[in-house]
Amino acid sequence: MLRKYLYVGILLGTIVLAGGSVNEETEGLVKEEMKGVLTDGQAIEVDPLSDTDKGEGGSVASLELTQKEKEDYYKQYIEIVEQVMQKKMGINIKVPPMEQFQSKDWIEPKAYETMVQNMVDRYLTVERETLNAVSPTTNKVVTNLNGETTTTAYIYIPDITCEIEVTGKFETQYNAYHDRQLFKLENISTQAASSVGTWEQTSYEASLIDGGLTYSIRIEGIYSLNGLSLEKAFTIEFHCNEFGKIY
């Protein structure tokens, strides 16, 4: 049975993924880490893949491979992780150097992909539950005299909920066809609302939805803490009522 232990930095979750079992010494260390939340990290045990998890990609048993086959598998492992990292979820997943792989670490790429996805699904579940626990009453919307509207968003980095202030500059105008005010986005800026870590916005992409009554904005940036940085993306919405009030 495949059993994989992952070490996740509690502040900036770096996860190093091999494919097979760890040795007894490492297993003991990881289990010791799992006893509680630490100041520098948190151990997460990924359960053995079930028959359902195996899918059609083949067995998760370790394989006897030639050097060329190992190089091909390793390349596929890298591609799998890179695809996940493109989603900018706030975790840093890495494949260890090829020379560190032991014979029991080599598994079918499909099984490796399943293992990675299972880990990601668990992370996203924790993220969703954590953010859902943040009271919506804490989200205050303020519009200043310059027409800039600021609201609060929350992002999740392993074991940390970060408050981000999102400020949108909008132009509102009466639309005779719709007989109401509509709005147009001019700019989006963000900043960390607390002193825990730093946040640097790198880009945003805005889309009008709801017949032009709502802006859905995907914001990307880099969250840094203790010299480590992670890419993170999140989505926030701004709405405009019939009188031009933005919220």
Domain-terminating residue out of 85, 114, 132 = 132
Among left, alpha and beta (phi > 0; psi -120 to 50; other), residue 147 is left
**pLDDT, position 63:** 76
Asked, for residue 189, whether it belongs to a domain, the answer is yes
**pLDDT, position 158:** 85
Phi, psi of 234 (to 5 degrees): -150, 165
If asked whether residues 120 and 203 sit together in one domain, one would say no
**pLDDT, position 115:** 95
Domain membership of residue 19 as a residue range = 4-132
Q: Which residues of the chain have pLDDT under 70?
A: 1-62, 135-139
The residues, any chain, with a CB within 8 Å of residue 35's CB and separated by 6 or more, are none
Which pTM value belongs to this model? 0.74
Domain-terminating residue out of 79, 114, 132 = 132
Asked, for residue 230, whether it belongs to a domain, the answer is yes
If asked whether residues 44 and 158 sit together in one domain, one would say no
If asked whether residues 112 and 165 sit together in one domain, one would say no
* CA–CA distance, 81 with 244 (Å, rounded to integer): 44
Asked, for residue 247, whether it belongs to a domain, the answer is no
**pLDDT, position 15:** 62
If asked whether residues 213 and 102 sit together in one domain, one would say no
If asked whether residues 150 and 116 sit together in one domain, one would say no
- The DSSP element (H or E) to which 122 belongs, if any, is helix 109-132
**pLDDT, position 135:** 64
**pLDDT, position 136:** 65
If asked whether residues 95 and 10 sit together in one domain, one would say yes
If asked whether residues 59 and 161 sit together in one domain, one would say no
Domain-terminating residue out of 132, 149, 176 = 132
**pLDDT, position 187:** 97
If asked whether residues 89 and 110 sit together in one domain, one would say yes
Asked, for residue 204, whether it belongs to a domain, the answer is yes
